[in-house]
Structure 1
Amino acid sequence: MEQEHNPKQTGTISKIEVQKKNKQRYNIYIDGDYAFAVHEDILISQRLQKGKEITASELDVITAEEQYKKAERAAYHYLSYRPRTRKEIKDSLLRKDVEAGIVEQILDKLETEGYINDLDFALRWVSERIQLKLKGPLVLKEELRQKGISSRDIAEALGQLEYEEQVDACMRLAEKKWDQVKKRYTEKREQKHKLMMYLQRRGFSFEVIQPVIQRLEES
């Protein structure tokens, strides 16, 4: 845990020491007293060294850069697990009490670098979820909406789904559910109705469900 900032943070740097638990962070001492801690990136960019005079304006710059770099590292760490949408990263940073202005700067940078691409995210999401999770377009649309994907990108991603691809996923899902429905309900009409309701809740349209149920009945 870092020490609390010393109220007296301006003056001459008397000592710089690397932290024991984080070799990339340095404790800065002003006139013999601990003043603040910075990442090595700021140590280099601001040319902090023993004997350097720190003015109030320079301290403001150091503090702002430290806040930005800390938030930026948090964003890269959050992205390291899996791709994220712009909204997911924004929400994550805001939960860490990062200033809204800094958040937007980081998001714009990540988009420029290609780390954020909501359309690519939506395309992958739709392709993977319909194949692996057997979820239909209506459910996928809501999932993407909750992740902050724009209506235009959602429409483009869902537009990649071929009709036969939807029927295939719906059929696989129906086959898994069909035996359960037949065991629980005896009347064929009720079996058909319950299966249809289930497939609709999973996001498939009537145009996709109808031929699936017909094939099941024929088989």
Structure 2
Amino acid sequence: MNVLEENRGEIIKSIKKKKKEILIIFESGQKLALSPSTFTDFRLFEGKMLSKEEFLKLLSSINKEEYLEYALSLLSRENYPSNVIYEKLLNKGVDSLVANQIIDKLTKDGLLNDELYAKTYAKDVAELRLYGKNKILFNLHAKGLSNEIISSLSFPRDKELLKAISYAKILDKRLAKTPKNKKISKALLCLRERGFDLDVAKEAVDKALSFLNEEENNLSLESDFNEAKAKYERKYKGYKLSQMIISSLLRKGYDYEDIIGKVRGCSDED
């Protein structure tokens, strides 16, 4: 692009209308493609001379339209809050003033609505992904939603519990062969990381988890006991060996009394 000399203007040589844009050709040879709205706003016609200031305003308007199209393309693929669009514009090299103008326009046109975004995320997205209240609030803060909007959201306990139970059922299948104590602790940890309050997580665990029956538990304990014994008896003997085996089985989530009974039974056999 040629730099305008001081006090020199640009004269429009010809105007060509195309399907989606209007091509302006200047006597200097420079060409600019304008949207119909920009063309109308600047009241351009063949033979008109644009001052340096007018020409730079026209260029600025074209750049702003390009960035607006970029923002619209983002919103056409996914719903975003205003702060995320603002950051994406800055990363694209857009001046902060122009970025704010674009955000204001999109908000005025109803294409950006942070309050609606927050409500949609808290309800639809969270239900689809089975997020609890605390994870939702954290994510919305991270996306730059205002405290006023976030504090307006409500999270009825009954709905939180339904989501927690649904996620606990997934964990129940994932941890199917895990001993009871370990299964409960893992499930509680996963539910808490998913954003559920402790009381909701505990109730979901009570309602959704199933556990090995006595025969299955004994078979699993036998297998893990033999594995731990084979691992530690190469290095330890007697009391120390028993302690290492007990620690290993406790970490796997077996009941302490069941472990002690197994260890003592093995010692009696030896």
TM-score, reference length from structure 1: 0.84
The alpha-carbon distance between structure 1 residues 164 and 29, as it changes in their structure 2 partners (threshold 3 A), is: same
Look up the equivalent residue of 1:30 and give its one-letter code: F
Task: Report the Cα distance in structure 2 between the residues aligned to 1:121 and 1:51, rounded to whole angstroms.
Answer: 48
Alignment length, in residue pairs? 208
Look up the equivalent residue of 2:62 and give its one-letter code: E
Task: Report the Cα distance in structure 1 between the residues aligned to 2:109 and 2:35, rounded to whole angstroms.
Answer: 22
1:176 maps to 170
Look up the equivalent residue of 2:156 and give its one-letter code: E
Task: Report the Cα distance in structure 2 between the residues aligned to 1:31 and 1:216, rounded to whole angstroms.
Answer: 77
The alpha-carbon distance between structure 1 residues 175 and 54, as it changes in their structure 2 partners (threshold 3 A), is: same
2:113 maps to 117
Task: Report the Cα distance in structure 2 between the residues aligned to 1:12 and 1:216, rounded to whole angstroms.
Answer: 76
The answer (yes or no) to whether the contact 1:27–1:34 under 8 Å persists in 2 is: no
Q: Does 1:17 align with 2:16?
A: yes
CA RMSD of aligned residues (A): 2.3
Task: Please state whether the residue corresponding to 2:196 is helix, strand or coil.
Answer: coil
* Structure 2, gaps ≥5 residues long: 212-270
* Structure 1, gaps ≥5 residues long: none
Task: Please state whether the residue corresponding to 1:74 is helix, strand or coil.
Answer: helix
Look up the equivalent residue of 1:197 and give its one-letter code: L
The alpha-carbon distance between structure 1 residues 113 and 30, as it changes in their structure 2 partners (threshold 3 A), is: closer
1:44-193 correspondence runs (5 A): 44-157=40-153, 159=154, 161-183=155-177, 185-186=178-179, 188-193=180-185
Task: Report the Cα distance in structure 2 between the residues aligned to 1:114 and 1:78, rounded to whole angstroms.
Answer: 15
The alpha-carbon distance between structure 1 residues 129 and 7, as it changes in their structure 2 partners (threshold 3 A), is: closer
Task: Please state whether the residue corresponding to 2:94 is helix, strand or coil.
Answer: coil
Higher mean C-alpha deviation, range 39-48 or range 192-201? 39-48
The CA deviation at 1:86 is 0.8
Task: Please state whether the residue corresponding to 2:44 is helix, strand or coil.
Answer: coil
Q: Does 1:195 align with 2:187?
A: yes
Select the structure of larger CA radius of gyration.
2
Task: Please state whether the residue corresponding to 1:48 is helix, strand or coil.
Answer: coil
Percent sequence identity is 22
Bigger relative contact order, structure 1 or 2, given CA contacts below 8 A and separation 6+?
Answer: 1
Task: Report the Cα distance in structure 1 between the residues aligned to 2:23 and 2:176, rounded to whole angstroms.
Answer: 69
The answer (yes or no) to whether the contact 1:26–1:37 under 8 Å persists in 2 is: yes
2:206 maps to 214
The CA deviation at 1:32 is 5.5
